[in-house]
């Protein structure tokens, strides 16, 4: 995966997940991009909003036809055939996404995408709707936010560029290139493009890789593995009814991964991130002693003495086997707080004496 870099467009970052072939497209009005896409929220779990594979059809955009989400034409123009890229787009570029998604979803459902829409500009139509008819899109309308688009470009028609000549390619490379153009799922896919079965199979592998990296004290890399596994499971959970058997089975896999992720963040000194994710976990599972323990350590690290003591006490109540560890942490917390109070007194005395000397 190539390093993230900025396109020459304000508020956009691009990361190549899988390299394409040939030149960048030299486009003209009427050129048509055919591609698959996935739209994600920019949150820890990278919540999926739309997925063209789930809808069962690729997306097409014709250059110069004033597509409502103008930034997509720019993004696709930066891609080669067969390329898969991830784009982070600031809210300045995503304000129209709810309306675009509404139309695409209606098409996928076999409905008229313009049903009920007045003949006026897209922004005007946005204000006409009290609701898009989809709760998640209504949220996007109310709260514009950055979005992540993962795009896979596999055909450009009306393009005057050229692919590398056969004399420049070996037989194996020629076959790979044909597969990339004709079959957008022919390469080794990242987890975003996996089927349900592939995601389930990937989770224990990612979990194991994360554990291996922890043993090597490569905490940032381990955290990324745990997060990717959580993303796989959350994507699957989104298709289940909350708190029913299927959802609960997936949740039981999510919880230890989130805790492992938080342990890595503790090691990396990202204490506020630990507070965020452990608190979110405890809102669902308020009897999880390990989550309280990690949150307590994060509170202690940022000098939230009262909150740390309360969480440590909950740990000892929920899991008596952790009482010794809690006692040790409370002793260390007391020593750190006493040392801090001494240093604070000295600092205040120094400030007071300095002010008297003025």
Q: What CATH number is associated with residue 204?
A: 1.25.40.10
Burial zone of 55 (CB within 10 Å; 0-12 exposed, 13-18 middle, 19+ buried): middle
pLDDT of residue 24: 83
Say yes or no: 11 and 91 in one domain. yes
Supply the CATH number for residue 78's domain: 3.10.50.40
**Rounded to an integer, what distance in angstroms lies between the CA atom of residue 191 and that of residue 17?**
11
**Is residue 337 helix, strand or coil?**
helix
278-314 pLDDT, tens per residue? 999 999 999 999 999 999 999 999 999 999 999 999 9
pLDDT at 106: 82
Which is nearest to 229 in space by CA: 268, 269, 271, 259? 259
- Tokens 């979803």, residue located: 105
Torsion-angle region of 84 (φ positive above 0: left; ψ -120 to 50: alpha; else: beta):
beta
Assigned token pair, 143: 């709260």
Structure token pair of residue 228: 């990717």
Q: Tell whether 227 and 315 lie within a shared domain.
A: yes
- Look at residue 190 in the predicted model and tell me its pLDDT: 58
Instruction: Kindly state whether residues 329 and 219 are assigned to the same domain.
Output: yes
Closest C-alpha to 21, from 154, 185, 190, 151: 154
How far are the Cα atoms of 50, 210, 230, 272, 356 from residue 203, in angstroms, in the given order?
22, 10, 8, 26, 64
Classify residue 293: in a domain, yes or no: yes
Instruction: Report, as ranges of residue numbers, the positions in the chain whose pLDDT lies below 70.
Output: 1-5, 64-67, 111-130, 158-193, 349-358
pTM of the model: 0.60
User: What does the pLDDT read at residue 171?
Assistant: 38
Give me 274's structure tokens: 């630990």
Cβ atoms of residues 321 and 330 within 8 Å:
no
Q: Write out the H or E segment, with its range, that includes residue 61.
A: strand 59-62
Q: Look at residue 187 and tell me if it is in a domain.
A: no
* Residue keyed to tokens 């750190």: 336
Q: Is residue 169 part of a domain?
A: yes
Q: Is 171 found in the same domain as 249?
A: no
Same domain, 41 and 76: yes
The string of DSSP letters for 32-95 reads: EEEEEEEEEESSTT--EEEEHHHHTS-EEEETTS--SSHHHHHHHHT--BT-EEEEEE-HHHHT
CA distance 312 to 297: 8
Domain annotation covers residue 37: yes
Range of the domain at 344: 196-349
Please state whether beta strands 59-62 and 12-18 pair in parallel, antiparallel, or not at all (unpaired). Answer: unpaired
Whether 204 and 99 share a structural domain:
no
CA–CA distance, 147 with 155 (Å, rounded to integer): 24
195 with 54: CB under 8 angstroms?
A: no
Could you say which of 150, 178, 206 is where a domain stops? Answer: 178
Residue 305's CB: how many other CB atoms inside 10 A?
14
Both 301 and 219 in one domain: the answer is yes
The answer on 219 and 151 residing in a single domain is no
Structure tokens at 119: 């003949």
Count of structural domains within the chain: 2
The set of residues, in sequence order, having a beta carbon less than 8 Å from that of 68 and lying 6+ positions away, is 96, 99, 100, 122
- Determine, yes or no, domain membership for 78: yes
Length of the chain: 358
pLDDT at position 113, please? Answer: 52
Task: Spell out the residues 6+ positions from residue 41 whose beta carbon is closer than 8 angstroms to its own.
Answer: 47, 49, 145, 147, 148
Let me know if residue 358 belongs to a domain.
no
Do 114 and 216 share a structural domain? no
Are 306 and 244 found together in one domain? yes
Kindly report the backbone phi and psi dihedral angles of residue 188, in degrees, each rounded to the nearest multiple of 5, phi listed first.
-70, 110
Say if strands 12-18 and 5-6 run parallel, antiparallel, or are unpaired: antiparallel
Same domain, 157 and 228: no
DSSP state of 59: E
The reported pLDDT for the residue numbered 128 is 43
């Amino acid at each position: 995966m190539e390093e993230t870099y900025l396109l020459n467009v304000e508020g956009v970052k691009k990361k190549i997940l899988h390299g394409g072939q040939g030149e960048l497209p030299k486009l003209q009005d009427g050129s048509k991009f055919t591609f698959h896409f996935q739209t994600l929220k920019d949150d820890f779990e990278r919540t999926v909003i739309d997925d063209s594979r789930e809808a069962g059809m690729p997306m097409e955009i014709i250059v110069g036809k004033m597509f409502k989400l103008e930034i997509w034409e720019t993004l696709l123009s930066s891609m080669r055939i067969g390329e898969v890229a991830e784009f982070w787009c600031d809210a300045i570029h995503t304000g129209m996404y709810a309306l675009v998604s509404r139309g695409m979803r209606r098409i996928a459902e076999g409905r008229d995408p313009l049903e009920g829409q007045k003949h006026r500009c897209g922004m005007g139509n946005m204000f006409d709707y009290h609701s898009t008819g989809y709760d998640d899109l209504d949220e996007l309308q109310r709260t514009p936010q950055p979005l992540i688009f993962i795009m896979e470009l596999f055909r450009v028609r009306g393009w005057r560029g050229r692919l590398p000549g056969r004399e420049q390619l070996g037989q194996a490379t020629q076959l790979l290139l044909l597969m990339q153009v004709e079959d957008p799922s022919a390469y080794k896919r990242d987890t975003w493009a996996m089927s349900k079965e592939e995601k389930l199979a990937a989770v224990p592998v990612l979990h194991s890789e994360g554990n291996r990296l922890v043993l090597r004290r490569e905490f940032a890399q381990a955290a990324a593995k745990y997060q990717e596994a959580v993303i796989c499971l959350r994507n699957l959970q989104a298709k289940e009814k909350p708190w029913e058997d299927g959802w609960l089975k997936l949740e039981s896999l999510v919880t230890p991964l989130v805790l492992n992720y938080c342990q890595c963040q503790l090691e990396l000194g990202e204490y506020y991130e630990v507070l965020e994710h452990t608190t979110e976990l405890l809102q669902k599972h308020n009897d999880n002693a390990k989550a309280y323990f990690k949150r307590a350590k994060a509170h202690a690290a940022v000098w939230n003495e009262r909150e740390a003591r309360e969480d440590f006490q909950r740990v000892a109540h929920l899991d008596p086997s952790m009482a010794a560890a809690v006692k040790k942490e409370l002793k260390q917390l007391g020593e750190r707080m006493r040392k801090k109070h001494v240093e604070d007194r000295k600092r205040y005395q120094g400030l007071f004496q300095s002010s008297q000397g003025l």
